[in-house]
Amino acid sequence: MNISTISTSLKTWALILSLSFTGIVCAQAPGDTIKLIVITAAGGAADQAARIVAEKLGPALNKNVVVENKPGAGGNIASKFVSGSKPDGLTFLMTSNNHTINPFIYKDAGYATLTDLVPVVQVARGPTVIAVHPQEPIHSMKDLIANSHTRAINYGSIGVGSAAHLVGECLKPITGAKYEHVPYKGGAPAVFDAVAGHIPLVMSSLASLGPYIKSGKLRAIAVSSADRWPGYSDIPTLAELGMGDCTYDIWLGIVAPKGTSSQIVNSMNHEISALLKTKEMQEKILGMGYMPVGNTAKEFDEMVRTDISKTSKMIKTMNVHVEQ
């Protein structure tokens, strides 16, 4: 082997090692299409966040990034699909609180949260908002509790096992409220019925309720976040009202199939976290009613484990389960 050949070989190996170190060399190859699977139908918060990320992630990686919705079974269909996908860096899942709730309310969710899916990055977080129709004689949580003892009150949510449902049921033993849950097939129908006055009470994300609160078509009486929410600082938190055990964020995050290499995870985390720090991305996420996060994969993993612990304790005090 001559000097020229040796030099060329060394340069080639140096390039491979360099790219491998940065996480670019993995199962992904130039021209591959990355699928970002979403647990909900088009239009929901997870879908919106996925499309915001995909729009910028594609050019950043110089790849096609497509969003594919696989709604159903409270997110289990999409989660099971991704958990069984090849760990080649071409399939990821945009998920939410169902990731930590479903193991406790389904006999068989079809996947294991901590072993079948690998945390990549938390994209955003936001509160559940408790809101009423403006003609209701309810201006506070105290009013809601009192009214629930004198007449039948139903509250709508996106469905059984949603973050909003957990907050609603968590409040019952703490406050003595006697309202009943009405699960909807999506957040939009529940909000529309509340705006129309068909149900007096709705619990949903700020992304769904924000425009109606701003326009006066709904009145917000509390948020489930630990602190008052930017732009809605007049709405008290449950913690301020002595109901801090029901403080509970809605979160959105991206996970990958088990077996996905740390190089792929770290590379995707780096790219998405960097995007979430840009002014344009932050404005879009904030416009949804969420706060951008962009933490490390390890921090996201710790958050998921903490959420599982909190969720299990909340569900133990409720009769929340899904018939299969």
pLDDT tens for residues 178-215? Answer: 999 998 877 788 999 999 999 999 999 998 899 999 99
Q: CB within 8 A of 248, min separation 6: which ones?
A: 128, 163, 166, 167, 170, 224, 310, 314
Give per-residue pLDDT as tens, 227-284. Answer: 999 999 999 999 999 999 999 999 999 999 999 999 999 999 999 999 999 999 999 9
Q: What is the pLDDT of residue 30?
A: 55
As a whole number, mean pLDDT of residues 36-46 equals 89
Nearest to 203 by CA among 227, 220, 178: 220
What CATH class has 127-246? alpha beta
Q: How far apart are the first and last CA of the chain?
A: 67
Beta carbons of 97 and 128 less than 8 angstroms apart: no
How many C-alpha atoms does 192 have within 13 Å on its Cβ side? 6
The CATH 3.40.190.10 portion of the chain extends over 127-246
Q: What is the pLDDT of residue 31?
A: 60
Give per-residue pLDDT as tens, 53-97. Answer: 999 999 999 999 999 999 888 899 999 999 999 999 999 999 999
Q: Is the predicted pLDDT of residue 17 greater than 50, yes or no? A: no
The CATH 3.40.190.150 portion of the chain extends over 6-123+252-316
Q: What is the pLDDT of residue 11?
A: 47
Q: Tell me the pLDDT band of 49, cut-offs 50, 70 and 90.
A: very high
Give per-residue pLDDT as tens, 122-165. Answer: 999 999 999 999 999 999 999 999 999 999 999 999 888 889 99
What CATH class has 6-123+252-316? alpha beta
Cα gap 254→300, rounded to integer Å: 9
